[in-house]
Structure 1
């Protein structure tokens, strides 16, 4: 291997590591540590974690902090796209994050919601039933009028962050390092699973399956937009619909009466 090729591969490896350490990789590490901490305390079934936790007791300041958190997370997505950009090679078009085929992208995304979203609820319910899923507590919907808008933005943030970085960015970079398609799909799916381990191993396993399906779809379609659409819809249902589900089926979805 020529020195220039070795330098290019080393530089690409460092770039991947740094992008992961400030984005999904950092979250995955915190998630694994959180799960280990939870597993060494009380039983998993007696513990809980919160989706989109409040940042301030004052509603206005909480909204400002939540918005800034979303903004800076999207800046990391923009960084990944920027690193993919090349002269005369539009990165957004290359990874399929554009509106050229928006109708078909939405249709494919909705199909994926049916295939992934509904079974995902079942995985969580089974995890709760066997005492292996941490209770996920949603943000309340009645605190302020802007809460639902922020939750929708948070869902869009999650869809863009995970799909652009896990698929658009990592697939491109790992292919340039010579990885096989199967190796890329499996490794990114495992990373996606570790990213969600804080909810318990059933949810992590469900997200590994989701990562395998999404990875296969991205390789086949060459477009990340349908996956962003699907992920965003799934999270909107989770963030906004979850409080309703907790009220209707408290035995499955509501937090335990006591726990850490």
Structure 2
């Protein structure tokens, strides 16, 4: 995945904007905005995740506990479906807020600003697929080590009842996670912290630690794995200035985990 053009080797404005705020926004206003956006989204998730981890650690060894993702939300089929779709939709509202805030800046299309568009579909898909393969193998390895050391809970990626809509909803849930996390934790955070004058590696590590924090409820293994993934994703974004490859890779990872478990997990004993 070497850089192949002079354009790709130039500084990417969306990832590392120049210090200062030509739109007139004060540093204090940017900091308040950051706290609000994170407080409505993944920063809030990080706080809850830390508390949840403490709760689990004071109950029993982490290795003996189970963390279940994608739970059923209602015993009645179509109410469950309704709640699932509402959960996915409202989880993406902070992303809409981010694009609105960026739209108010001078400089044009906020989707182009973060590289969340379809202008480079084949390059984005290629990078996304490559990151998916690299991160997928790493994720499995970190999970196995974490389980062996008793630092990671048993993770059940999907626990929905078996309906006709189960797999489509799992796919939508995976896409939701990809969009939410990569747009906010990478694209938005890079843009705003860059305007506050932070350096590239300061932003990369801050973004990576934030990514790890909201996975702590699964144990220390997923925290470490997601911090490492955050460093890789942050560096790729700093070079390419596009979140779309990261969204694709993240969605592929979650689709493989959610749908793969729903289809094969119980049969092959995944999660034990």
Q: Normalised by the size of structure 2, how large is the TM-score? A: 0.88
Once residues 189 and 29 of structure 1 are traced to their aligned partners in structure 2, the CA distance between those partners, rounded to angstroms, is: 15
CA contact (8 A) 1:245 1:253 kept: no
CA contact (8 A) 1:48 1:134 kept: yes
Once residues 104 and 181 of structure 1 are traced to their aligned partners in structure 2, the CA distance between those partners, rounded to angstroms, is: 23
Once residues 15 and 141 of structure 1 are traced to their aligned partners in structure 2, the CA distance between those partners, rounded to angstroms, is: 36
Shift of 1:164: 0.1
The answer for unaligned runs of 5 or more in structure 2 is: 1-21
SS of 1:107's partner is helix
Query: In the alignment, which of 100, 110, 122 is matched to residue 103 of structure 1?
Result: 122
1:19-42 CA-partner distances (Å, limit 9, x unpaired) = 000000000111111111101111
Once residues 77 and 127 of structure 1 are traced to their aligned partners in structure 2, the CA distance between those partners, rounded to angstroms, is: 32
2:100 is matched with: 82
1:70 is matched with: 88
1:42 is matched with: 60
Query: In the alignment, which of 169, 175, 196 is matched to residue 194 of structure 2?
Result: 175
CA contact (8 A) 1:141 1:148 kept: no
Once residues 103 and 245 of structure 1 are traced to their aligned partners in structure 2, the CA distance between those partners, rounded to angstroms, is: 30
Query: In the alignment, which of 119, 124, 139 is matched to residue 143 of structure 2?
Result: 124
Query: In the alignment, which of 164, 170, 174 is matched to residue 151 of structure 1?
Result: 170
Shift of 1:6: 10
SS of 1:229's partner is helix
Once residues 252 and 121 of structure 2 are traced to their aligned partners in structure 1, the CA distance between those partners, rounded to angstroms, is: 15
1:229 is matched with: 248
Alignment of 1:24-43 (within 5 A): 24-43=42-61
Q: Normalised by the size of structure 1, how large is the TM-score? A: 0.92
Once residues 121 and 173 of structure 2 are traced to their aligned partners in structure 1, the CA distance between those partners, rounded to angstroms, is: 21
Once residues 110 and 5 of structure 1 are traced to their aligned partners in structure 2, the CA distance between those partners, rounded to angstroms, is: 37
1:218-248 CA-partner distances (Å, limit 9, x unpaired) = 0000100000000000000111112445335
Q: Post-superposition, which runs of at least 4 consecutive aligned residues in structure 1 deviate over 2 A? A: 4-7, 138-142, 242-250
Shift of 1:140: 4.0
1:192-222 CA-partner distances (Å, limit 9, x unpaired) = 0011111110111000000000000000001
SS of 2:86's partner is helix
Q: Confirm or deny that 1:206 pairs with 2:221.
A: no
Q: Which moved more, 1:172-181 or 1:86-95?
A: 86-95
SS of 1:49's partner is strand
Matched length: 251
CA contact (8 A) 1:139 1:239 kept: yes
Once residues 219 and 140 of structure 1 are traced to their aligned partners in structure 2, the CA distance between those partners, rounded to angstroms, is: 36
1:170-193 CA-partner distances (Å, limit 9, x unpaired) = 100000001011100001100100
CA contact (8 A) 2:152 2:219 kept: yes
Once residues 141 and 50 of structure 1 are traced to their aligned partners in structure 2, the CA distance between those partners, rounded to angstroms, is: 10
The answer for unaligned runs of 5 or more in structure 1 is: 255-260
1:257 is matched with: none
CA contact (8 A) 1:31 1:197 kept: yes
